[in-house]
């Protein structure tokens, strides 16, 4: 079966490398995600183990779709009864580009109409719509007047890991934090330090990764676990997958250190880490006070964006000095596209990516090679 794991734009190579390492087959990066192949069990494994993917999608049909009628007729042909019965609730979402149909809400609405009309005709009853917490989430994607209808294995998007008890201001999505760790060259054997850690997303994702703990281990369930097709043998397979996904708490963990000026967000970070079952060390410091605390590893920061930047006009220069204080470390700094940074001794490698709708640049720096 062809499958598609979606991710934040700009993080496709991180997801490709991750799925490759997780030994999925047929891994190929595309815009907005990565194609791979496998059974439904492999889709379940991706939901549990991918740190970077937002959704895991199974295409069920593809058809020409240059009008509203073509959309309705195309969807009405599709038999979803294996996963969706009238007892199951449904929601449909849509995305489109370079197509005659442009209104995503309308596309979703007509797709839903075609699905439930078919149910009524063939089964005499229809699914209720539940936009917030459906049993079955269907995703329809139009590109150049071709529609693909997908079943969403994840259900609630995969960044909702289940460990975020509370959030500070502008927390990063967990999936984006994991992608940034990977793009910055995080080595789980070495430590990580985040001197603007907020609610601790980088640190917790790094610690989960280093502990070999699956990012989805705290999720109560994934979307596919509510489908009509989810039978006893799949339940058993899922129990086994979860059993092997807890990681090794006895494994020596490289340091995951965080600091921030705001004591309230540090409390939140501590609670989130405890819920995630990982060890992080936190202290109240400004970036001017942040220093390397271990020989080599990764220093990562996600400084505040936007209006709050006006409050600290010195921040670009402070950040440059911070980077220069970590010559033996890899460094990753995630800034919005229009944010400046002072001159640094090292030249960065740049990645363009999106934090939600906000275009961002991740600047990554290699450690400076020392002469013996």
Ligand X SMILES: C[S@@+](CC[C@H](N)C(=O)[O-])C[C@H]1O[C@@H](n2cnc3c(N)ncnc32)[C@H](O)[C@@H]1O
CA distances (Å), origin 179, targets 52, 159, 210, 265, 270? 5, 11, 15, 22, 22
| CB of residue 246 to ligand X, shortest distance in Å | 24
Contact code string over 247-286 relative to ligand X, x by CB under 6 A: -------------xxx--x--------------------x
Please tell me what DSSP assigns to residue 234: H
Which residue, 154 or 172, is less far from ligand X as judged by CB? 172
Contact code string over 186-215 relative to ligand X, x by CB under 6 A: ---------xx-xx-xx-------------
The first and second tokens of residue 52, run together, are 């970077």
Which residue, 255 or 258, is less far from ligand X as judged by CB? 258
The first and second tokens of residue 362, run together, are 């991740």
How many CB atoms lie under 10 A from the CB of residue 269? 28
- Give the sign of the dihedral formed by CA 232, CA 233, CA 234, CA 237: positive
| CB of residue 198 to ligand X, shortest distance in Å | 3
Q: Does 355 interact with ligand X (rule: CB under 6 A)? A: no
Total residues interacting with ligand X, rule: CB under 6 A: 20
Q: Does 342 interact with ligand X (rule: CB under 6 A)? A: no
In the β-sheet with 358-365, what is the strand arrangement from edge to edge? 281-284, 256-260, 191-194, 297-301, 330-336, 358-365, 349-355
Contact code string over 282-321 relative to ligand X, x by CB under 6 A: ----xx--------------xxx-----------------
| CB of residue 334 to ligand X, shortest distance in Å | 8
| CB of residue 132 to ligand X, shortest distance in Å | 24
Q: Are 153 and 144 in contact (CB under 8 A)?
A: no
Please tell me the distance from the alpha carbon of residue 240 to that of residue 48, in angstroms, as a whole number.
12
Q: Does 171 interact with ligand X (rule: CB under 6 A)? A: yes
| CB of residue 265 to ligand X, shortest distance in Å | 5
The first and second tokens of residue 276, run together, are 């995630």
For residue 98, the SS3 value is: coil
Q: Does 168 interact with ligand X (rule: CB under 6 A)? A: yes
Q: Are 308 and 336 in contact (CB under 8 A)?
A: no
Residue partners of 301: CB distance under 8 A and separation at least 6: 194, 195, 196, 287, 319, 322, 332, 333, 334
Which residue, 16 or 330, is less far from ligand X as judged by CB? 330
Which residue, 134 or 168, is less far from ligand X as judged by CB? 168
| CB of residue 274 to ligand X, shortest distance in Å | 16
Which residue, 74 or 171, is less far from ligand X as judged by CB? 171
Please tell me the distance from the alpha carbon of residue 56 to that of residue 7, in angstroms, as a whole number.
9
| CB of residue 204 to ligand X, shortest distance in Å | 9
Computed on alpha carbons and rounded to an integer, the radius of gyration of the chain in Å comes to: 22
Interface ranges with ligand X (CB under 6 A): 168-172, 195-196, 198-199, 201-202, 260-262, 265, 286-287, 302-304
């Amino acid at each position: 079966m062809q499958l598609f794991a979606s991710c934040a734009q700009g993080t496709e190579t991180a997801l490709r490398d991750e799925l490759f390492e997780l030994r999925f087959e047929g891994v190929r990066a595309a815009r907005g995600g990565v194609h791979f192949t496998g059974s439904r069990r492999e889709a379940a494994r991706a939901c549990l183990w991918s740190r970077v993917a937002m959704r895991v999608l199974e295409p069920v049909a593809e058809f020409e779709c240059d009008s509203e009628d073509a959309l309705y007729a195309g969807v009405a042909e599709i038999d979803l009864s294996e996963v969706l019965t009238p007892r199951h609730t449904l929601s449909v979402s849509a995305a489109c580009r370079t197509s005659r149909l442009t209104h995503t809400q309308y596309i979703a609405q007509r797709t839903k109409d075609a699905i439930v009309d078919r149910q009524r005709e063939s089964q005499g009853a229809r699914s209720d719509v539940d936009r917030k917490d459906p049993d079955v989430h269907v995703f329809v994607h139009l590109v150049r007047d071709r529609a693909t209808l997908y079943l969403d294995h994840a259900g609630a998007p995969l960044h909702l890991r289940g460990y975020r008890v509370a959030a500070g201001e502008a927390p990063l999505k967990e999936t984006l934090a994991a992608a940034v760790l990977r793009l910055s060259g995080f080595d789980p054997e070495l430590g990580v330090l985040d001197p603007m850690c907020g609610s601790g997303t980088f640190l917790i994702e790094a610690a989960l990764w280093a502990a070999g703990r699956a990012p989805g281990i705290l999720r109560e369930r994934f979307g596919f676990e509510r489908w009509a097709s989810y039978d006893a043998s799949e339940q058993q397979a899922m129990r086994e997958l979860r059993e092997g996904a807890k990681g090794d708490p006895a494994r020596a963990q490289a340091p995951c250190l965080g600091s921030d000026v705001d004591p309230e967000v540090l409390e939140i970070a501590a609670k989130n880490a405890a819920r995630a079952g990982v060890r992080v060390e936190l202290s109240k410091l400004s970036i001017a006070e942040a220093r390397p605390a271990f020989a080599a590893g990764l220093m990562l920061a996600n400084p505040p964006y936007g209006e709050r930047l006006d409050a600290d006009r010195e921040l670009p220069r402070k950040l440059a000095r911070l980077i220069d204080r970590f010559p033996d470390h890899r460094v990753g700094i995630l800034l919005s596209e229009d944010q400046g940074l002072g001159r640094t001794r090292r030249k960065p490698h740049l990645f363009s990516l999106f934090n939600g709708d906000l275009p961002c640049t991740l600047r990554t720096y290699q450690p400076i090679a020392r002469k013996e």
